[in-house]
Structure 1
Amino acid sequence: MYDLTGFQRDLLYVIAGQDDPHGLAIKDELEAYYETKINHGRLYPNLDTLVDKGLVEKGQKDRRTNVYSASRRGTREIEARREWENQYIDLD
């Protein structure tokens, strides 16, 4: 996960937190978080990067709609990131 941008990492977290979201659902979630518009030219190439890296799996809901899910590797990377963060952040 060290080689991901912050945006790519946020994409992975959103995908992992939803049940097979499609691109527009991911976009809506990130727009709410960032409080700004996210254009397709930013969203879809970054989704493709996560797929290419094996962190996300891409499937088809229908002819026009792709769905995304975190792969096993993606889930392991999130868990490893959480463990790393917990070394530095004590929320108690």
Structure 2
Amino acid sequence: MYDLTGFQRDLLFVVAGQSEPAGVAIKDEIEEYYREKVNYGQLYPNLNTLMKKGLVEKGKKDGRTNTYLVTNRWHRELQARLDWERQYTA
């Protein structure tokens, strides 16, 4: 996770915290946290980056709606990140 932006890490937490959210649900949640508008031109390229890195998978809810799910790789990388953080915060 060292090579992700803060925005990308936040997207991962939002995806992990919901049950296969659609892009709109992710956008709404991240806007609430940031307290500012997030445009789709920012959201979807970052989700695509997370998919290319193997941290998020995209599925289909219906013909128009994609859903997102964190992968097992994300769980491993999150654990490694938490272990790294603990050595400095313990």
TM-score tier by shorter-chain length is over 0.9
The share of aligned pairs that are identical, in percent, is: 64
Matching residue of 1:61: 61
TM-score normalised to structure 1 length: 0.92
- Which stretch of structure 1 is more off in the superposition, 40-49 or 78-87? 78-87
Matching residue of 2:31: 31
Matched, 1:46 2:46: yes
Matching residue of 2:2: 2
Listed one character per residue, the Cα deviations across residues 15-71 of structure 1 (whole Å, up to 9, x for unaligned) are 111110110111111001100000000000000000011000100000110000000
Matched, 1:74 2:83: no
- Following the alignment from structure 1 to structure 2, what is the Cα–Cα distance between the partners of residues 75 and 51? 14
TM-score normalised to structure 2 length: 0.94
- Following the alignment from structure 1 to structure 2, what is the Cα–Cα distance between the partners of residues 46 and 35? 19
Matching residue of 1:16: 16
Q: Which amino acid aligns with 1:76?
A: R
- Following the alignment from structure 1 to structure 2, what is the Cα–Cα distance between the partners of residues 24 and 40? 9
Q: CA RMSD in A?
A: 0.9
Number of aligned residue pairs = 90
Instruction: List alignment gaps of at least 5 residues for structure 2.
Output: none
